[in-house]
Structure 1
């Protein structure tokens, strides 16, 4: 009887465990079925925590939210009123324009737009469509007013305040502050179809004019129609080289010496004549680097470009990341910054060489780059080969150990003169002795 009770208890226990396992399995299956894969068109991401911890301020908007990530934050609400004013001005300038037409166009793009964000957007449909319309029209109206001063009101709260416009330039290039480019193009095309004033333009051209101060390549506007994901992506495309000059290097990655060390070894530096940051060349001992202006928002611009590349799939070339890594190696101290400034390669608006040196160290921190696909491998190899030749090593040693300050140079010249006069005296003594013997 006792054995039967034990068997019964074991059977009940197995049945209970079986039910528990079934319930757990059902729960796991429900969780798995609710998961959605990352959309293939995903292009707007949260900045990785590793980069954010290095310099969080570079990735956070100061006055403007665009898109859903920072939407509704209290400190950004002041600009919401200006968005509505700009939308009103845009519609009033287009007689007969129906708001419903814009709403319908945005509603048709809603699902596609949501798919561009790496995280699930919790706004309901009306809230999301309103945000698309308001933010998109604000950007277009801002760009139009920037290009055409006649469209601005006398008391315009943005263009009459330099600081506000500067902050807008910065906030519009943040990775987390983006709208898909097709939203801007759709809205702009609707606006253009009702516009009978002036020559036609494009969102590409308006964007170029707004960010022209960055030194962008205008050639992309006329000669090609790149597949643009958003404003930050467009800036990246303008900074990278054209397809014909992109690196196909398979050289092994090599570290490169600092500017000061290369200069001591006889490497000459020259300011490049093109605006593309990637067009760095080394020919016949001359390292040619395009000019770069360093100002208060440079860390934010380069930092967000790097963050975007770090989030993209592995097939996306890391042009900006590789550029920053190269500059981090070249600029190892304030002395390196001073040398590059002397040759016009760096325009330092920070006024502090130490700050520029620290900026590149900070930008390169926690960044992952592929040494097998490093865009400047050939350049580093050629520079190192030049630096390692015996004569250049001797020259660098001589400059570092004997010509590193004015007193050392004076001492060296004095020693050479002393040796020269000693040699002359010796020759004269020998000639005098020989003349005496002949007598």
Structure 2
């Protein structure tokens, strides 16, 4: 009987075990099927998302490829004031928060509107404003908190820019050092506000015209262009005979802008590059690109007979090469100011061009890469200074050379943007006849004294030849 009981227990155990195994296998198959279906759906959604991308880039964090840089915090994170949701609430920006409230009060006071009326505009459109940001950076804020944050920051930035152009910070008891460091914070990628937010707030203020002009003036001032070049551009854009472009003319230019900027950093980029058709710089299928160059720097170009010339305007795309008489070539480059703000501006502009949802021609990246190919050492910077192309307000020429060499590391420029210029330079550089002639002139006529000595030698040889000819002629005509 014990044997029968044992067999029954064993059989039941086996059936139970087999049943559990079958159930587990069915469950496993169900999980696998569900997982595969989810994976298929993920692929499908990825394809749909790629097709239905946003028409304009969203405000977001700097791409992960740049976040492991040694000086990331120094050049990509705000120093005095945070704007927008990415860095909001951090302890080190407490003073900036106090300044923002002061500036917001000043903006509201000068707008001619009640604060609740200004805020209501932002509150009613918070859904649209929220879509201007990448979802990750706004997920910890509810609509009310985000609306208030954007309202204060929008009013503050408009009043800051107005005070900067009108020199009114002393009236608000805001220190000069805070003003200076704050200017750099306005052009950081992670510190941007939607331009439509600024546009709505300006539109509600009785000072709309003054605020619009102040933005254009402020951005133009930060375009890293020499003052004489700005003056020349203003004279060109303004009416003939006027020294500066009139306020009415500037308003017309603002209104006639084809596209609204995404934010202030985008506005700065457009000012630097000008407007160009993106399609003209897109990669052409089947066309080979030779991105190799045998010259290393400006010194080698000079030895080959290529001289630097300053372009007639400051658009960074305005780089061209022309072959001149007497076997010389001229490379035209736009003028630029280099100071403490140059590196963070260019780094954040490059980071903006690297945003995955920003379709662009990599104009800033390509310009920096091209300039880096010309600058190898301090002597190259000196040549740019002497040609009045580069205005060095940073320090030594060696510091400027290192700056562009560091910014130029690991860049992926548009290979077609300066393709013609590079090809022309390389073709001129490869021509042995022009190179030898230029090298001869460079070696023997590099200073006025050597040229005068050469002229003296020629004059001496001429006089000797004349004297010899006269002596021979006299001897033949003698008795």
Shorter chain as denominator, the TM-score bin is 0.7 to 0.9
1:281-318 per-residue CA deviation (whole Å, 9 max, x = no partner) reads 11222111111100001001111111000114474111
Going from structure 1 to structure 2, the CA distance change for 1:245 and 1:232 (only over 3 Å counts) comes to closer
Going from structure 1 to structure 2, the CA distance change for 1:319 and 1:312 (only over 3 Å counts) comes to farther
Q: Is the 8 A contact 2:278 2:361 kept in 1?
A: no
Q: Does 1:234 align with 2:252?
A: no
Going from structure 1 to structure 2, the CA distance change for 1:243 and 1:270 (only over 3 Å counts) comes to same
Q: Is the 8 A contact 2:195 2:260 kept in 1?
A: no
1:333-362 per-residue CA deviation (whole Å, 9 max, x = no partner) reads 111111011100000111211111111121
TM-score scaled by length of structure 1: 0.81
Tell me the residue number matched to 2:65. Answer: 50
Task: Give the Cα separation in 1 of the matches to 2:351 and 2:211.
Answer: 24
Going from structure 1 to structure 2, the CA distance change for 1:30 and 1:283 (only over 3 Å counts) comes to same
Tell me the residue number matched to 1:65. Answer: 82
Q: Does 1:394 align with 2:436?
A: yes
Q: Is the 8 A contact 1:67 1:177 kept in 2?
A: yes
- Map residues 296-335 of structure 1 onto 2, 5 A cutoff: 296-313=340-357, 315-335=359-379
Going from structure 1 to structure 2, the CA distance change for 1:148 and 1:313 (only over 3 Å counts) comes to same
Supply the RMSD in Å over aligned alpha carbons.
Answer: 3.9
1:31-75 per-residue CA deviation (whole Å, 9 max, x = no partner) reads 989x99696144212112332415311111110101011111111
Going from structure 1 to structure 2, the CA distance change for 1:46 and 1:404 (only over 3 Å counts) comes to farther
Task: Give the Cα separation in 2 of the matches to 1:246 and 1:101.
Answer: 43
Tell me the residue number matched to 1:295. Answer: 339
Instruction: Select 2:24's aligned residue among 4, 16, 25.
Output: 16
Larger displacement relative to structure 2 (109-118 or 285-294)? 109-118
Tell me the residue number matched to 1:381. Answer: 423
Tell me the residue number matched to 1:286. Answer: 330
Q: Is the 8 A contact 1:50 1:366 kept in 2?
A: no
Tell me the residue number matched to 1:210. Answer: 218
Q: Is the 8 A contact 2:310 2:332 kept in 1?
A: yes
Q: Which stretches in structure 2 are left out of the alignment for 5+ residues? A: 1-6, 238-252, 324-328
How far the C-alpha of 1:104 sits from its partner, in A, is 2.2
2:347 alignment partner, SS class: helix
How far the C-alpha of 1:365 sits from its partner, in A, is 1.7
1:201 alignment partner, SS class: helix
Going from structure 1 to structure 2, the CA distance change for 1:245 and 1:51 (only over 3 Å counts) comes to closer
- Map residues 328-367 of structure 1 onto 2, 5 A cutoff: 328-367=372-411
Tell me the residue number matched to 1:98. Answer: 114
Q: Which stretches in structure 1 are left out of the alignment for 5+ residues? A: none
Tell me the residue number matched to 1:108. Answer: 124
1:283 alignment partner, SS class: strand
Q: Is the 8 A contact 1:302 1:320 kept in 2?
A: yes
Larger displacement relative to structure 2 (170-179 or 346-355)? 346-355
2:191 alignment partner, SS class: coil
Task: Give the Cα separation in 2 of the matches to 1:314 and 1:88.
Answer: 35
1:375 alignment partner, SS class: coil
Q: Is the 8 A contact 1:178 1:232 kept in 2?
A: yes
Larger displacement relative to structure 2 (215-224 or 85-94)? 215-224
Tell me the residue number matched to 2:178. Answer: 164
How far the C-alpha of 1:405 sits from its partner, in A, is 9.3
How far the C-alpha of 1:239 sits from its partner, in A, is 1.1
Task: Give the Cα separation in 1 of the matches to 2:386 and 2:23.
Answer: 82
Going from structure 1 to structure 2, the CA distance change for 1:154 and 1:203 (only over 3 Å counts) comes to closer
Instruction: Select 1:139's aligned residue among 152, 157, 165.
Output: 157
Q: Is the 8 A contact 1:54 1:362 kept in 2?
A: no
Q: Is the 8 A contact 2:84 2:192 kept in 1?
A: yes
Task: Give the Cα separation in 2 of the matches to 1:270 and 1:233.
Answer: 29
Going from structure 1 to structure 2, the CA distance change for 1:27 and 1:67 (only over 3 Å counts) comes to farther
TM-score scaled by length of structure 2: 0.74
Tell me the residue number matched to 1:266. Answer: 305
Task: Give the Cα separation in 2 of the matches to 1:176 and 1:351.
Answer: 28
How far the C-alpha of 1:112 sits from its partner, in A, is 2.2
Q: Is the 8 A contact 2:108 2:155 kept in 1?
A: no
1:211 alignment partner, SS class: helix
1:287 alignment partner, SS class: strand
Task: Give the Cα separation in 1 of the matches to 2:29 and 2:397.
Answer: 65
- Map residues 415-426 of structure 1 onto 2, 5 A cutoff: none
Going from structure 1 to structure 2, the CA distance change for 1:145 and 1:55 (only over 3 Å counts) comes to same
Task: Give the Cα separation in 2 of the matches to 1:171 and 1:24.
Answer: 50
Q: Is the 8 A contact 1:255 1:380 kept in 2?
A: no
1:112 alignment partner, SS class: helix
Q: How many residues get paired?
A: 413
1:4-51 per-residue CA deviation (whole Å, 9 max, x = no partner) reads 865652442231243356468768989989x99696144212112332
Task: Give the Cα separation in 1 of the matches to 2:405 and 2:78.
Answer: 23
